[in-house]
Chains A and B, each alone.
Chain A
Amino acid sequence: EILMTQSPATLSVSPGERATLSCRASQSIAINLAWYQQKPGQAPRLLISGASTRAPGIPARFSGSGSGTGFTLTISSLQSEDFAVYYCQQYNDWPRGTFGQGTKVEIK
């Protein structure tokens, strides 16, 4: 099983600042990585697939990068609606798409 590790667990950021979230895979997953955003009481929302391709309707301030075992989600200028929990998910290991434990982005 491929293990996904996200860091940090909590990120405190001021509105308008940049946020950088990390996700590491226990073995190479090429670019088979997705990022999701989840707000309290809501279902997850797909942000990015293929490590760097934004889903339809996702603002350009969200960007993804990385390949192999190391990946980054960057939010260039945090808006109030971006404070949420973010999960990465690998889909290189059919059919078991494992998720990271999440990074909570909170208001500083």
Chain B
Amino acid sequence: EVQLVDSGGGLVQPGGSLRLSCAASGFTFSDYWMSWVRQAPGKGLEWVANIKQDGSEKYYVDSVKGRFTVSRDNAKNSLYLQMNSLRAEDTAVYYCARDVTAITGDYFDYWGQGTLVSVSS
């Protein structure tokens, strides 16, 4: 059974940092692109970042470029999101998701349960 377990969220002050983790099991983690998707309270979904199977390619939504870094450790079946210079508008539930890679882009077939990041003074 595919499982993604998100962790690492919490309350942080503006300008602070946080590192999210996603532990994967039930599939060959190193075979898949992986993504982070977030959802602000009461709002819709927003893709944040993704990373190639070997970590050699990474992409980000414009609003987090230069502040967030996605990484992975295939030996530990884990995905990470390092978030620096956090802003109030980064407040959201962050989900890791497994990518299904189509020719033109990715959609997501499995999701973690999410971890809440709150940025507030």
Contact = CB atoms under 8 A, between A and B. Distances in A.
Contact of B108 (A32, A46, A100): A46
Interface residues of B, number: 21
Main secondary structure of the interface of B (DSSP, over half): strand
A49 interface: yes
A91 B95 contact: no
Contact of B47 (A30, A46, A97): A97
A42 B95 CA distance: 10
A63 to B, nearest CB: 17
Interface residues of A, number: 27
B11 interface: no
B27 to A, nearest CB: 14
Contacts of B95: 43-44
A69 interface: no
Given A32-B102, A32-B104, A96-B59, 15 more contacts: A44-B45, A46-B108, A50-B102, A55-B109, A87-B44, A87-B45, A91-B105, A93-B105, A94-B104, A94-B105, A94-B106, A95-B106, A97-B108, A99-B44, A99-B46
Interface of A: 30, 32, 34, 36, 42-46, 49-50, 55, 87, 89-102
Top 5 nearest A-B pairs by Cβ distance?
A: A91-B105, A43-B111, A34-B107, A95-B59, A99-B45
